[in-house]
Amino acid sequence: MLTTEDIKQFHESGYCVAPVVFNAEQIRQARHAVDRVYSGDLDDGRSWPFIEPVMGNGPHDVRTTLFSAHVNRTIRSMAANEELVRMAAALLGCEAVRLWQDQAIWKPGTGGVLVDEGNIGFHQDYSYWQDSSTTNMVSANIALQDVTVENGALRMIPGSHKLGLIDDLIGGFFEGNLSETRKRLDAELDLQVDVPLELKAGQVSFHHSLTVHASGPNTTALPRLVLAPAYIADGTYYRAEGQPPCPHSLFLGDDRQHGTPFAGEFFPLLRQ
């Protein structure tokens, strides 16, 4: 479903947009699954592995979870969707693909009010994943409704993945003042204007783990929901010197050593 041009754009710009992958019924089920996750209704008698829903509880605060695929069968099924994983493999340049993590993001509507609490700051995913032996990691964003600038579409900075890890952006996910960060990035790195990725419901975008991205507030009346699974090539391993340590390495146990592969229940092999 990805064309040669899509894959070329991913490598040149650090992101690309795929066609619609999920139908209306799958989207309805996914939205219901996210609601259940946030209400604490978890499948199979499971509990949260290390990280429960995070960020604030205010009326305009973004809510996000990690590893919700481990506590909800519907989200697990969407993250393992055959077409989605095949596209991730094409972007990773490999055959065998594992799930690295998944994230359910719930961005409330503010009804026209502009508030920093509704923002996700400019950041690079790999700044939180430095225990991984490689930056060759790809994140997907599955739109669970039409995603527009008005309801907080992702904003990508083209080509920023070629700059390597940017120390100034470590921890930037929680920095809601986008304009100040944008000015600093422009002054220090001469980066291009960020590009909003507007998606139809069921459509998917992909971005590299080093691509700088953010999202603004949802100024509509309805919440914006996305599922964001991330994928790695089979053989990716634990890098002991990675700082700050990421929670993923905890799944490998206390006896983990440099070179321990990310594998097993929490990093399932989705494609041989």
Residue with tokens 């490689």: 134
**Whether residue 167 has pLDDT greater than 80:** yes
Q: What is the average per-residue pLDDT within 137-165? A: 95
pLDDT attached to residue 50:
66
**What average pLDDT does this structure show over 170-184?**
77
Q: What span, in angstroms and rounded, lies between the C-alpha atoms of 125 and 29?
A: 27
What's the confidence (pLDDT) of residue 187?
74
For range 183-190, the mean pLDDT: 75
- Residue 57: the pLDDT is 67
Q: Is 13 helix (H, G, I), strand (E, B) or coil?
A: helix
- How far CA 92 is from CA of 120, 148, 168, 187, in Å, comes to 25, 27, 26, 32
Residues 6+ apart with CB under 8 A from 255: none
| pLDDT value, residue 189 | 74
Class of domain 4-251: mainly beta
User: How does pLDDT run across 217-247, given as a tens digit for each residue?
Assistant: 899 999 999 999 999 999 999 998 876 678 8
Give the confidence band of 54 by pLDDT, cuts at 50, 70, 90. low
Domain limits, the chain: 4-251
**DSSP strand pairing (154-156 vs 213-215):** antiparallel
**What percent of the chain stands above pLDDT 70?**
94
Coil/strand/helix, residue 31: helix
Taking only the tens place, the pLDDT of each residue in 97-144 is: 999 999 999 888 888 777 767 788 889 999 999 999 999 999 999 999
**CA atoms of 5 and 13, how far apart (whole Å):** 12
**What is the three-class DSSP state of 141?**
strand
Please report the pLDDT score of residue 172 as a whole number.
77
Residue 55 is predicted with a pLDDT of 62
The amino acid at 118: G
Is the predicted pLDDT of residue 53 greater than 80, yes or no?
A: no
Whether cis (ω within 30° of 0) applies to the bond prior to 229 is no
Confidence of residue 49 (pLDDT cuts 50, 70, 90): confident
Within 10 angstroms of residue 91's Cβ, the number of other Cβ atoms is 24
Is 80 exceeded by the pLDDT of residue 73?
yes
φ, ψ of residue 115 in degrees (nearest 5): -135, 140
The token duo for 221 is 């009346």
Q: pTM value? A: 0.93
Mean pLDDT of the chain: 90
Distance CA 59, CA 117 (A): 9
For tokens 């989207």, what's the residue? 27
Pairing of strands 97-101, 120-123: unpaired
- Can you spell out the DSSP letters for 74-100? HHHHHHT-HHHHHHHHHHHT-S-EEEE
Task: Give the model's pLDDT for residue 246.
Answer: 83
Q: Which residues contact 48 (CB under 8 A, 6 or more apart)?
A: 42, 67, 71
Comparing 77-86, 180-189, 197-206, 249-258, which segment has the lowest mean pLDDT? 180-189
Is-contact 74 12, C-beta < 8 A?
no
The 10s digit of each residue's pLDDT in 59-70 is 778 888 899 999
In whole angstroms, give the CA distance from residue 189 to residue 200: 32
CA-closest candidate to residue 67, choices 75, 57, 56, 78: 75
Q: Specify the residue for token string 């080509």.
A: 159
pLDDT score for 19: 93
Cα–chain center distance at 36: 20
